[in-house]
Amino acid sequence: MRILLIRHAEPDYETDTLTDAGRREAEALGRRLARQGVDRLFCSPLGRARETAAFIGRACGKEATVLPWTAELSDLRVDLQRWGHHMAWDVHAEHFRGPNRPTHADWHHHEAFKDLGFDEEYLRIQRESDAWIAGLGYEHENGRYRIRSSHRDTIALACHGGFGLTWLAHLLDLPVSAMWSGFFLPCSSVTTILFDERSDTWATPRVIGMGDLSHLYEADLPMSLKGVKANDR
């Protein structure tokens, strides 16, 4: 099984839709996935993800099923004296790395995040993810997945950047902070997660392509800078 984790195309956050540039991105993405092949299509309930999925669905002849648990983690907002108001996954790692960095693996336990309720939110994502993937034939047990129904389906999910990085941390059994501070998912990008089966018993998720934008290059479209916070972009 392969899961295609797709960040929605360039958004107009105020209207929760796609921009004109985003629609061109989503159209190019749809053409790519039609050639590649998609067996099942899912999306977040938010408008920008649903609109992205609609382009994919029209190109691939699929209707998207909405997964409420894949909505963006919009409540994880933090105010830091130096950095100002940010989503938690956008806080610059400079704030936490260095000689006084926390000794634990996940600096989301730092006092700056203590009132976010992240632990409860992460447990919710883990539960919902495990239930969904069990329905696809793979049951989560201690970081690996027991194979109940092996298959080669390609599952596409149109969702969000912050949610996507957080979900990847669970799937890959990595610290959330490593995903938040070390990786970025561009608009309309495709991250391919292979459920790697080396025996008849277990599968483990493995990323074999992350943040891919080849459909934009083919269509001569630029990468959107929405969500990029660096001074020199």
With respect to residue 72, please indicate whether it lies within any of the assigned structural domains. Answer: yes
Alpha-carbon separation of residue 210 from 7, 38, 190, 230 (angstroms): 11, 18, 7, 20
With respect to residue 49, please indicate whether it lies within any of the assigned structural domains. Answer: yes
Angle in degrees, CA 98, 100, 104, rounded to 5: 95
With respect to residue 157, please indicate whether it lies within any of the assigned structural domains. Answer: yes
Residues in contact with 123: Cβ distance below 8 Å, sequence separation at least 6, in sequence order: none
- Residue identified by tokens 């949610």 is 163
With respect to residue 210, please indicate whether it lies within any of the assigned structural domains. Answer: yes
Q: From CA 45, how far away is CA 172, in angstroms rounded?
A: 24
User: Residue 32 pLDDT > 60, yes or no?
Assistant: yes
With respect to residue 230, please indicate whether it lies within any of the assigned structural domains. Answer: no
Instruction: Convert the pLDDT of each residue in 145-183 to its tens digit.
Output: 999 999 999 999 999 999 999 999 999 999 888 898 889
Q: Could you give the percent of the chain with pLDDT greater than 70?
A: 87
How much is the pLDDT for 89?
Answer: 74
Instruction: Convert the pLDDT of each residue in 43-58 to its tens digit.
Output: 999 999 999 999 999 9
| Domain housing 87 | 2-218
Query: How many domains are there within the chain?
Result: 1
How much is the pLDDT for 192?
Answer: 98
User: Residue 112 pLDDT > 80, yes or no?
Assistant: no
How much is the pLDDT for 6?
Answer: 98
Residues in contact with 133: Cβ distance below 8 Å, sequence separation at least 6, in sequence order: 139, 140, 145
With respect to residue 233, please indicate whether it lies within any of the assigned structural domains. Answer: no
- pTM, two decimals, is 0.93
How much is the pLDDT for 219?
Answer: 97
Q: From CA 123, how far away is CA 25, in angstroms rounded?
A: 33
Look up the CATH number of the domain holding residue 82: 3.40.50.1240
